[in-house]
Amino acid sequence: MMKNYIQYTKALALLFFFAFVSCDQDTSPTDAVEEKEVFKTVEGSEKVLNGSWGQLMETYYTYANPGFGSFLRTSDAMGNDAVLQTNKYGFGNHYQFSALYGKGGTNTHSWNLSYKTINNMNNILAYIDNSKGDAGEKRRIKGQAYALRGFMYLHLASSYAFAIDKDPNALAVPIYLKPTTVDTQPAKRSTVREVYNQALADLEEALVLIPEGYVRKQKFQIDYSVVLGLLSRANLYARNWEKARDYSDRLLAKNDYLMTETEYKSGFNDVANREWIWGHPQTPDQSNASYQFHYLDVTSKDSYYYSFNADPYFKDLFEDGDYRKSMINWAPDPSADIEKASVVWMRYGKFKFKAGQLADMVLMRTSEIYLINAEAKAQLNDGDAINKLNEVKRARHAALVSNLAGKDLLEAIWLERRKELFGEGFALVDIVRNQKAVVRKKYENNKVEYAYVVRDANGNEETKTKIMTANGHYALNFPDQSPFVANSPYYLYQIPNVEERENPNL
């Protein structure tokens, strides 16, 4: 509950500083000080800001839960298109819908990380106006604190409640706007609309405060474009179509770059990619978040688990010529002895480790903004919607669409989101916000001919084939054996037991 949480994070959670120097994040505490001392200078507030980001992205709960990325992995594991490998570690219970509903570790991890981050931002906002330092830096850091708090409330609004238009007055999660202490009374739950409105208000304030000309040193830092992207995303989820259109229009006017085929096939592991608007860098010394690629990377021998495979039917959604389709193929485990292997999974080679088991984490891409823009305009019957959808398809060498409107156009946009954003954390969020049901189908053709190359001692190559058992979806209903339906409580994060037990105001 919030009281336990407050005591655990006493005086700010105060403070696990993570110093970001160049790309380095010191993930061990460097100091624990009185909060008034920390916030006497602008530099101190920026340390809290950067430290909170490092804590959010790098903190383990279990090895299946490395930081905020674990919530993105959860969303995809519970969607239509990822098939979790049965004999590999990580997110299998999420795939089978027992983790969140059973109040497993991800619930606690999400709750603690979200409210720790919110509390740290509340402390920055409470003290920074009276701190010493450059007024422009003060304004920028204040804006970034609002943006990060808004980002966390967006996560809470879209994960702990059904779509806003199902019941905007349904209870969601508490809102805290001031620093908490051991004497703070735990808050009651706010409504879905109130939590979305808080996220939007924070992001709007951030857009006012962060200079449009601010040039960040690293891509994890929140700049003007990131805030425009978050406002586009948040307004889409809150079904504010005009604002989602307007903010995404503004962002695309600043940056409309879509990566090339070569860039797309390079592994989704590098923040230097021009299409990445926001990402979390990794270095040999600061690499906790890279652990997620042990799930996402299903084609490299460096990967331990390679568990996020694709539904065989997912490949059929891509037209011939779309280079994304060429990245999806049957294959055994990357570490398997091919002569002994008997099982294959549909491997999507989208995510690949860099050398040294490092991989930067993508948080926002221009393609998402195109698709937000397309969806908002489709909802507004704006003819430019199909153009924006086709821009993404054209960049991927996919067949363009024409003569679509209304629900058919929306369905095409939602399908493109599934294809383009696979593995980036949007699957279940999209299902919930659009009030859809998870759709999975058993793969009936469970035997496939697999071709592979063997080399003899002299380096001569020979192509062989063998019949292998092909795997598709195996979790085809909820744990109680009921069918997948829209607006199921199995889809939602649950408030942890300790919070329910000790917060009398819920």
Express each pLDDT in 437-448 by its tens digit: 999 999 998 899
Alpha helices in 283-426 (DSSP H): 293-296, 312-315, 366-379, 385-395, 406-420
Q: Find the mean pLDDT for residues 484-502.
A: 95
**Contact indicator for 422, 309 with CB cutoff of 8 Å:** no
Smallest Cα–Cα separation from 247: which of 195, 199, 207, 194?
207
Sort strands 461-471 and 343-348 into parallel, antiparallel or unpaired: parallel
Model confidence pLDDT, tens digit, residues 75-98: 999 999 999 998 899 999 999 999
Sort strands 447-455 and 343-348 into parallel, antiparallel or unpaired: unpaired
**Contact indicator for 33, 47 with CB cutoff of 8 Å:** no
Q: Find the mean pLDDT for residues 305-312.
A: 97
Residue-level length of the chain: 506
pLDDT of residue 16: 41
Radius of gyration of the chain (CA): 23
Looking at residue 489, its amino acid is P
Looking at residue 260, its amino acid is T
d(CA 237, CA 433): 6
Q: Find the mean pLDDT for residues 7-32.
A: 36
d(CA 99, CA 103): 6
Average pLDDT over all residues of the chain: 92
Whether the predicted pLDDT of 247 surpasses 80 = yes
* 299 or 28, which is more confident: 299
Q: Find the mean pLDDT for residues 322-334.
A: 97
Tokens of 331: 């294959």
CB atoms within 10 A of CB 384: 14
Catalogue the E-assigned strands of 211-317.
276-280, 308-310
Domain ranges for the chain, please list them: 2-443+473-502
d(CA 382, CA 409): 11
pLDDT of residue 3: 45
Looking at residue 334, its amino acid is P
Which of the four pLDDT bands, split at 50, 70 and 90, describes residue 183?
A: confident
Tokens of 26: 């010191």
**Contact indicator for 211, 204 with CB cutoff of 8 Å:** no
pLDDT of residue 483: 98
pLDDT of residue 36: 73
**Contact indicator for 463, 433 with CB cutoff of 8 Å:** no
Degrees (nearest 5) of the Cα angle 100, 103, 104?
80
Model confidence pLDDT, tens digit, residues 349-398: 999 999 999 999 999 999 999 999 999 999 999 999 999 999 999 999 99
Q: Which residues pair with 207 in a beta bridge?
A: none
Looking at residue 372, its amino acid is I
Whether the predicted pLDDT of 181 surpasses 90 = no
Tokens of 267: 């592994």
Whether the predicted pLDDT of 114 surpasses 50 = yes
Whether the predicted pLDDT of 26 surpasses 90 = no
| CATH no. of 2-443+473-502 | 1.25.40.390
d(CA 374, CA 368): 10
Q: Find the mean pLDDT for residues 37-48.
A: 95
Q: How many CA atoms lie within 13 A of 460 on its CB side?
A: 4
Q: Find the mean pLDDT for residues 394-418.
A: 98
- Using CA atoms, how far residue 390 sits from 343, 383, 420, in Å, is 37, 12, 12
pLDDT of residue 11: 34
d(CA 330, CA 345): 5
pLDDT of residue 35: 60
Whether the predicted pLDDT of 17 surpasses 80 = no
CB atoms within 10 A of CB 496: 19
pLDDT of residue 22: 32
d(CA 363, CA 269): 11
Whether the predicted pLDDT of 267 surpasses 70 = yes
Whether the predicted pLDDT of 104 surpasses 90 = no
pLDDT of residue 27: 32
